[in-house]
A and B are shown apart, each in its own frame.
Chain A
Amino acid sequence: MSVPSNFDEFLDGIWKQNPIFVMVLGMCPTLAVTVSAVNSISMGLATTFVLAASCLLVSILRSAIPKQVRIASYIVIIATFVTVVDYAIQAISLDLYEALGAYIKLIVANCILLGRAEAHAAKNPPLPATLNAFGMGLGFTLGLLAIGSVREVLGAGKLFGLSLFGPHFQPWVVMVLPPGGFFVLAAWLIVFAAFRHINIKRNTQLGGVQS
């Protein structure tokens, strides 16, 4: 396989290796903060920033970091940017900060971050590493948005805070409770599994599986 182009690196995380629906990483914020679309997007963008910035730094420092202490070094880098995001969100919107709660600080423990730093940024030059991380972050954001908007529509009858069905809407209380996160995530996973299934079928019909 040839070296993937920068554009491929970027698209990788959005579709082919989507962190939520394909790699199933970062489930903690996925299940916890996707109560509404706004929360999902903010969480996703915060993660995207931390991911892109820390992958850039990891990639630049990749020959300077000794192999034995690389995990600790990555965590220090990631934690630095998480602190930046933490204070930034607190300054921009206190409501949002309270809604996201401990999950902003927990970005540091998100397996996508360490996974990308270890598996990609530590082995690639800065530009593709950052692009890949950026794509991953956007893929994560889209995934959160997909779950968050379903939960907000069913659980509150709203999307981005706008009422969709009028005052007589009957909210599905379960959708804003923790089980709702599991149900919606599972439903999306079924949808994506079905896509993959259809794709494989089509490829075999075209003659031979093409990877």
Chain B
Amino acid sequence: MTQPIELRAAPHQHSGRDVPTIMRNVVYSMLPICVFSIWQYGLSSAALIFVVTLSCLAAERINNHFSGSVNTLSDWSAAITGIILALTLPPAFPLWMGAVAGFSAIWLGKSIFGGLGQNPFNPALIGRAFVQAAFPTAISTWAPAFAPHRFSEFIPSSLAAPFMSPPDIVLWAKQQGVDAFTGATPLARWKFENISASSMDLLTGNVTASAGETSAILILLCGLYLAFRKFLDWRIPVAVLGSVVLVAWVFHFAQPARYPTPTFVLLSGGLMLGAWFMATDMATSPVTPRGIWLYGALIGILTVVIRYFGGLTEGVMYAILIANAAAPLLDQFSQPRVFGNERDKS
């Protein structure tokens, strides 16, 4: 009896890693950031992460149902979108708006393009951009960290009824006995009052910021874990952070009184989270090494330019979205020479 010959298309060998494995590891690497966020902001942060992730999963499931495709919840991509999205939102963000963000992230960011791998933009950032445009006030309302009763009661704005505007939280912050709460992020304070936060506070997360972007050092460690396990391309964060430092240094060198130090620019805002977890999205970043360097540099330069000269205080989100749009073009420009072919004469 002869063995049937099995014919297969390339690749004939691969590392055994599939999409769910990679995605699951990204989720694991984000868990410490989630835990730190919950420790800082208590119930509100926990509920926000839960609701946003759940709404992303629900959106994915509903989409599966109507498109008649197989169940794609098990590839973990919707869960990642939800967790990243929750980490980029302010901790006092009303939960119903979080659900809106989750649904728009999956539907507008991923489903309408055909699902995982087809999306030109990072779905989590699409969700955030949608709520940024829809609810500009709520998304720039920040809550104090380490409020004394954070594990027993919600920040009042979290529990705003659906479609209703959230209550003011300044009074609540006073009742909590949080002194010196200004309700402004380090970037906003730099932009409008020219006060730079200390690097130590930015590293350890003792600042007002989105739920998951407070501690730069923690995000760095989680990102390094992924980079060492080769779940993300190390070139992207290196290019993003490197170009940010370079551009910020040039500005600081030219006008030290006007522009902040490169360290402040590097550690503040959502830059760390964006560089390690959002710019590195495999579906939306270029494939060729040279393209990746250009892509990272584009994100870095745009971030600094938006922060310094734009109307918004933070520019990472739009920088990454614009670079996502440029990614296919960068790939096309930076095709490597095929081995054995001659160099271009030009």
Partner of A170, one of B112, B130, B163: B163
Q: Does A179 contact B (CB under 8 A)?
A: yes
Is B133 a contact of A170 with CB atoms below 8 Å?
A: no
Q: Which residues of A are found within 8 Å of B130, using beta-carbon distances?
A: 174
B138 and A173 contact, CB distance less than 8 A: no
- Contact status A169-B165, CB under 8 Å: yes
**By the criterion CB–CB under 8 Å, are A175 and B164 in contact?**
no
Which of B66, B130, B136, B163 neighbours the largest number of chain A CB atoms within 10 Å of its CB?
A: B163
Does B238 lie at the interface of the complex (its beta carbon under 8 Å from any beta carbon of A)? no
Residues B165-197 near A (CB distance < 8 A): 165-166
Chain B: residues with Cβ within 8 Å of the partner, total of: 16
Asked if B165 and A168 sit within 8 Å, CB to CB, the answer is yes
Closest approach, in angstroms, between the C-beta of A28 and any C-beta of chain B? Answer: 22
Q: Which residue of B97, B108, B138, B164 contacts A169 across the interface (Cβ within 8 Å)?
A: B164
Q: A96 — which chain B residues lie within 8 A by C-beta?
A: none
Q: Is B203 an interface residue (CB 8 A)?
A: no
- Assembly CA distance A165 to B160 (angstroms): 14
Does A188 count as interface, using CB distance less than 8 angstroms?
no
Q: Chain A residue with minimal CB distance to B112?
A: A186
- In the complex, the answer to whether A165 meets B163 with C-beta atoms within 8 Å is yes
Whether B164 and A173, one on each chain, are in contact in the complex, defined by CB atoms closer than 8 angstroms, is: no
A115-145 contact mask (Cβ, 8 Å, vs B): 1 or 0: 0000000000000000000000000000000
Find residues 155-185 in chain A having any chain B CB closer than 8 Å to their own CB.
Answer: 157, 165, 168-170, 172-175, 177, 179, 183
Across the interface, B164 reaches (CB within 8 A) one of A170, A177, A194, namely A170
Q: Which 4 A-B pairs have the closest CB atoms?
A: A170-B165, A174-B133, A174-B134, A172-B134
Binding site for A on B (CB under 8 A): 66, 94, 97, 108, 112, 130, 133-136, 138, 160, 163-166
25 intermolecular pairs with C-beta atoms under 8 Å apart = A157-B163, A165-B163, A165-B164, A168-B164, A168-B165, A169-B163, A169-B164, A169-B165, A170-B94, A170-B97, A170-B135, A170-B166, A172-B134, A172-B135, A173-B133, A173-B134, A173-B135, A173-B136, A174-B130, A174-B133, A174-B134, A175-B134, A177-B133, A183-B108, A194-B66
